[in-house]
A and B are shown apart, each in its own frame.
Chain A
Amino acid sequence: MMDGSVNDMTAPVIECRSLWKVFGDRADEAMKAVLQDDLAKEEVLQRFGCVVGVRDASFSVREGEIFCIMGLSGSGKSTLIRHVNRLIEPTAGDVLIEGINIGELGSKALREVRASKIGMVFQNMGLMPHRTVRENVAFALEVRGMARTERFAIAERAIATVDLAGWEDRYPDELSGGMQQRVGLARAIAADPHILLMDEPFSALDPLIRRQLQTQFMELAAHMKKTTLFITHDLDEAIRIGDRIAVMKDGEFVQVGTPEQIVTEPADEYVADFVAGISKLHLVTAARIMEPLDAYQSRNGPIDLTGSLRARPDDLLNRLADLSIETDAPLAIEDDGKVIGVVTKKALIRGIQGRSRDDEGGLPNGG
């Protein structure tokens, strides 16, 4: 497993330490056997009738970070995120919220954490059909005993934040799916929690609305400085909004890294399959595909780059492609006024394809 975390001073807001969840009556027994013999998910199911939901997951999310968890259906994403506010009790391992081990909290303290620190958005919305939009959004405040006028005023502000002003008195079933999900988002941010847990919030929506809500959410999260755990089965979505991505398979983290790391250095075939169809144009930088100047010159002899077009190491492939149309010469990659590398047309095209710089072949019959 790779750790793509950036070392900085701030303490993690969410931290999971070797979290395990085994579902079933014989969970403890199964758990022991798994630890001893490293059984696979199917073997555990066969021998104990237990389902391994989460398998030794460890991660931490920094303040203000959007941490995406992605994986196929049944890989344990929902199970994992429900541990963060302890809707599910782990079989083993700890969850820390702002340094507090929530497994050790009493039920009252836990409810307080849920109501004030964590907002959650659900895949199936989970709106209350017998309450108006305003009453739904004010729910977390109501539960804490806030007075009616006060909580409704706050709820109305949250509703305006998600562009639903004017719909306060409607019932959820009078709203479209996208609007309902925005109500879910408003409910999550109404109590102004530090942490947002988003379980596939946009999966059920059509691509256009989804993109629109993604944008709205990213603006909101950046503006309000929320720390977010975001679950999706859509890699495009993960790449778009995630600062880091964890890829899950059979309850286990296969790879954790930045979107670029996941796409350019998939840890195994499962991840590689995921990223196969992903466009690299807006993800991969010049630094990753360029050939260092020394290496290039020692292969091809000295090169005169005075006339060639310049790019910076963190320019994306899309920009390199734009430049490359203008000239036949290799592009010079310049950092601090000094040329450090070269991107040839071949390297650029291979980069867009997601293959290595000097990958030969690909045409049938060697032609």
Chain B
Amino acid sequence: MADDKSFSLLDPFQTVDLGLADWADGIKGWATAHRSAIQPLKRAVNDAIMSIEHALQAVPPMIIIAILVLLAWQIGGRRVAIIVGVSLFALGLLDPTAWGLAMTTLAIVTSSVLVCIAIGLPLGILAAKSDRFQAAIRPVLDTMQTIPAFVYLVPVVMLVGIGNVSGVIVTIVFALPPLVRLTSLGIRGVDASVVEAARAYGANPLQILFKVELPLATPTIMAGVNQTIMLALSMVVIASMIAVKGLGNEVLRAMGRLDAGKAIVGGLGIVLLAIVLDRITQGVAQTGRERGHRHWWQGGPVGLIAKMFGR
């Protein structure tokens, strides 16, 4: 026992030190030591993100607006198209720099969400199939969502360095959980009698997954994707602390200079981008039949063109 403090049953914590903080600090050392090993991977990911961004920056704003509005019309109907169009115009009018910053942010968010889907969908399927995996992954997901971002910001930067790739990693940690959860929930919620019927007609587990469970779980899974996008957007300010550019960086810099005008431009930009992405993805969750036509190609602009040229 230590000399200065004697062990007390009523307050044992003063004298017991498990060294958790030191141990965690050790991770930092390990991360710095292994930095070079992951540099090639980092470069590849960064290139991918940059090419998305270049593409978005290269296309004139009006054309992007046109594409997104048509997409929204096809997916979500006329009302959604109007909301998306108005939001995008407002975004462009906020400030001459706002559009470019928004495209940078959009590139980061898109990259993060794509990786989230690539990881989250398989994990969610696994969690739906195995109660044990579900039980095991649950506390992990809870932790990912509740632990303050600053805690993992440091080791990630130590390992990967500042920049877009770290930004994507940090965003994924926060944005992934709802997709895993809702994928699992959606598959578990599929009518058991339909799955049983598929089994009775000789379907194998993969056929059941792809022909029955995933199609029927799609609305729930899309709700998960929607949540993931929203969470990814809400991470952009924190990500900008590790040198990710875009709207988040604008807010961060405005905060440092107490520049309320710039802060509002950045903040509103994020909100408008969120509205656009939210409406479009919510439209995907809804099937065309719920909106009154039988197939997706019978509505929206495609349906209009088909009607014009058809018969």
Q: Which residues of A contact B (CB under 8 A)?
A: 85, 87, 107-108, 111-116, 118, 120, 122, 124-130, 139-140, 142-144, 169, 171, 187, 191, 197
Contact = CB atoms under 8 A, between A and B. Distances in A.
Closest CB pairs A-B (n = 10): A115-B202, A126-B197, A114-B202, A140-B201, A111-B202, A126-B193, A120-B200, A130-B215, A143-B203, A124-B193
Nearest to B287: A130
B212 A128 contact: yes
Nearest to B207: A143
B200 A114 contact: yes
B201 A120 contact: yes
5 contacts: A115-B201, A118-B200, A127-B194, A142-B211, A169-B294
Contacts, number: 63
Given A143-B207, A171-B289, A128 B194 contact: yes
B201 A139 contact: yes
B202 A126 contact: no
A139 B198 contact: yes
Interface residues of B, number: 19
A279 to B, nearest CB: 35
Nearest to A135: B211
Contacts of A114: 199-202
A115 B197 CA distance: 11
A140 B207 CA distance: 11
Contacts of B193: 122, 124-126
Nearest to A120: B200
Given A128-B212, A130-B215, A171-B289, A144 B196 contact: no
Interface in B175-206: 191, 193-194, 196-204
Given A127-B194, A128-B194, A143-B207, A87 B199 contact: yes
Contacts of B52: none
B249 to A, nearest CB: 43
Nearest to B199: A87
B202 A122 contact: no
A270 B197 CA distance: 32
A128 B207 CA distance: 13
Nearest to B201: A140
Contacts of A187: 201
Given A128-B212, A129-B216, A130-B216, A140 B202 contact: yes
Nearest to A142: B211
Contacts of A118: 200
B202 A112 contact: yes
Most buried by B among A112, A113, A139, A191: A139
A128 B201 CA distance: 12
Contacts of B200: 85, 87, 114, 118, 120, 122, 126, 197
A126 B196 contact: yes
Given A122-B193, A125-B193, 15 more contacts: A87-B196, A107-B204, A111-B204, A113-B202, A114-B199, A114-B201, A122-B196, A124-B193, A126-B197, A127-B197, A128-B197, A129-B216, A139-B203, A140-B202, A143-B201
A223 B215 CA distance: 37
A143 B204 CA distance: 8
Contacts of B207: 143
Contacts of B203: 111, 139, 143
Contacts of A191: 201
A143 B199 contact: no
Nearest to A197: B200
A353 to B, nearest CB: 42
Contacts of A85: 200
Q: Which of B194, B196, B197, B200 has the most CB of A within 10 A?
A: B200
Contacts of B212: 128
Contacts of B294: 169
Nearest to B289: A171
Contacts of B202: 111-116, 140, 143-144
A190 to B, nearest CB: 9
A71 B204 CA distance: 32
Given A143-B202, A171-B289, A122 B197 contact: yes
A256 to B, nearest CB: 25
Contacts of A139: 198, 201, 203
Contacts of B204: 107-108, 111, 143
